[in-house]
């Protein structure tokens, strides 16, 4: 990728890890909550980084931003998580410039999701952009890139069927329950955690299981009551968690804690208990698997489930990739325009200086000189000249570098360091 005037002294990088090489434990070590993301952005700003996006989901943690070397971004990530550089290097990927742009398009349009066509990431990308904007780390490049990815995502949703059918981590968990728990409509189900995944799972449970024995628990009870009121479900206090686990047949854990919320000490059951852990990092302690009658399934296992819906979605990948290519090419064209924008700006300034000098000379020389008319006419001529040069540079495309140098030489242009 050529220098698209992205930055004078740095390149655009994506550094990160995802479900393909990093298991849930490693992803948990590198996960970032909102506070950690804010701290990371503040540190980046203090280091002089002028554009950065941070995304952290169940399936991936990524930094997209400008740096002199990708290690700047890797260190920022490691300084704000429980992971270290050696662990990161074992599972990580690093993309630069054009490859980094392509990767973000692929991620943001569901083509790199653990479940193909899952567009949950696009709302998280919007949140990441808003977080960076508040910290003044969303430069024009970052803003335009995010908008382009969002545009591609919308087109792929509207013009393809890659997200058709009910397939998500929430739905996959309900599918698993229905396949493995006989007579599910008469079993007791306990849902612990009322974040987005918890709420989506709750809706899928009601829609597909015909079960009226669903109990909700959340650390902050009002969140659970809001969902429970909507679907007429039982809501219990957080202090009742141990008692409710004893009475349940299926426990779904959708909490967002940095350490386990379900431990061996909480579970006393004489009947079979299925536990689904939909959290990253894992919120069900490893020692729970030692208990008799208890089966623990993590979302990584659920995400590997393939069905007819996923197979059908695969046929729309080429169409989605073509949409990505079209919008990415438009973004690259915009980058090309930004490359010569400083030269056109400097040319415009130079021509206006020449105009002012000439008008001043003519006004002293001619007694009936109409300076207002002359100003209007000369400004229009300058506008046409600069537009002609801009069009020429656009048409030359990749060969525009020679033209840029010639314009700068002929008009003796001086560009500001910030341009």
Q: Using an 8 Å Cβ cutoff, are 125 and 146 in contact? A: yes
**Encoding tokens for residue 294?**
């208890």
Task: Say which residue the tokens 């659970």 belong to.
Answer: 224
Whether residue 66 contacts residue 10, with contact meaning beta carbons closer than 8 Å, is answered with: yes
Q: Which region holds residue 6: left if phi is over 0, alpha if psi is between -120 and 50, else beta? A: alpha
Residue closest to 338 by CA, chosen among 143, 54, 103: 143
Strands 11-18 and 60-67: what pairing? antiparallel
Rg (CA), the chain: 28
What tokens appear for 129 in the block? 């952009």
58 flagged as catalytic: yes
Give me the catalytic one of 58, 78, 146, 202.
58
Distances (CA, A) of 112 to 59, 119, 121, 127: 10, 10, 10, 19
Alpha carbon 48 to its chain centroid, in Å, reads 22
Residues in Cβ contact with 122 at an 8 Å cutoff, skipping those fewer than 6 apart: 108, 109, 110, 149, 150, 153
Catalytic residue set: 58
């Amino acid at each position: 990728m050529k220098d698209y005037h992205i930055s004078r002294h740095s390149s655009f990088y994506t550094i990160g890890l995802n479900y393909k090489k990093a298991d849930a434990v490693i992803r948990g070590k590198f996960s970032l909550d909102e506070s950690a993301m804010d701290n990371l952005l503040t540190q980046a700003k203090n280091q002089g980084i002028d554009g950065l996006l941070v995304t952290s989901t169940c399936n991936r943690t990524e930094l997209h931003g400008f740096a002199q070397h990708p290690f700047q971004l890797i260190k920022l990530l490691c300084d704000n998580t429980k992971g270290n550089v050696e662990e990161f290097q074992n599972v990580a990927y690093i993309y630069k410039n054009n490859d980094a742009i392509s990767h973000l398009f692929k991620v943001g349009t569901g083509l790199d999701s653990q479940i193909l066509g899952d567009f949950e990431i696009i709302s998280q990308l919007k949140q990441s952009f808003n977080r960076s904007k508040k910290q003044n780390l969303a430069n024009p490049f970052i803003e335009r890139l995010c908008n382009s990815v969002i545009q591609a995502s919308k087109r792929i949703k509207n013009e393809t069927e890659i997200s058709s059918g009910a397939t998500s981590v929430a739905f996959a968990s309900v599918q698993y329950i229905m396949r493995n728990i006989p007579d599910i409509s008469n079993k007791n189900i306990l849902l612990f955690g009322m974040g987005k995944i918890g709420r989506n799972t709750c809706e899928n449970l009601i829609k597909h299981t015909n079960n009226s024995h669903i109990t909700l628990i959340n650390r902050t009870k009002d969140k659970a009551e809001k969902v429970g009121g909507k679907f007429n479900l039982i809501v219990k206090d957080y202090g009742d968690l141990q008692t409710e686990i004893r009475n349940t047949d299926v426990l779904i854990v959708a909490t967002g804690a940095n350490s386990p919320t379900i431990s061996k000490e909480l579970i006393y059951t004489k009947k079979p208990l299925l536990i689904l852990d939909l959290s990253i990092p894992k919120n069900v302690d490893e020692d729970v698997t030692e208990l008799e009658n208890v089966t623990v399934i993590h979302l990584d296992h659920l995400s590997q489930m393939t069905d007819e819906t996923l197979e059908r979605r695969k046929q729309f990948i080429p169409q989605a990739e073509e949409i990505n290519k079209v919008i990415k090419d438009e973004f690259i064209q915009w980058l090309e325009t930004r490359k010569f924008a400083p030269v056109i700006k400097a040319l415009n300034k130079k021509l206006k200086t020449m105009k002012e000098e000439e008008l001043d000379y003519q006004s002293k020389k001619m007694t009936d000189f109409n300076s207002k008319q002359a100003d209007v006419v000369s400004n229009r001529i300058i506008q046409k000249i600069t537009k002609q040069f801009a069009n020429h540079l656009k048409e030359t495309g990749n060969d525009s570098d020679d033209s840029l140098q010639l314009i700068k030489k002929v008009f003796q242009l001086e560009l500001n360091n910030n341009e």
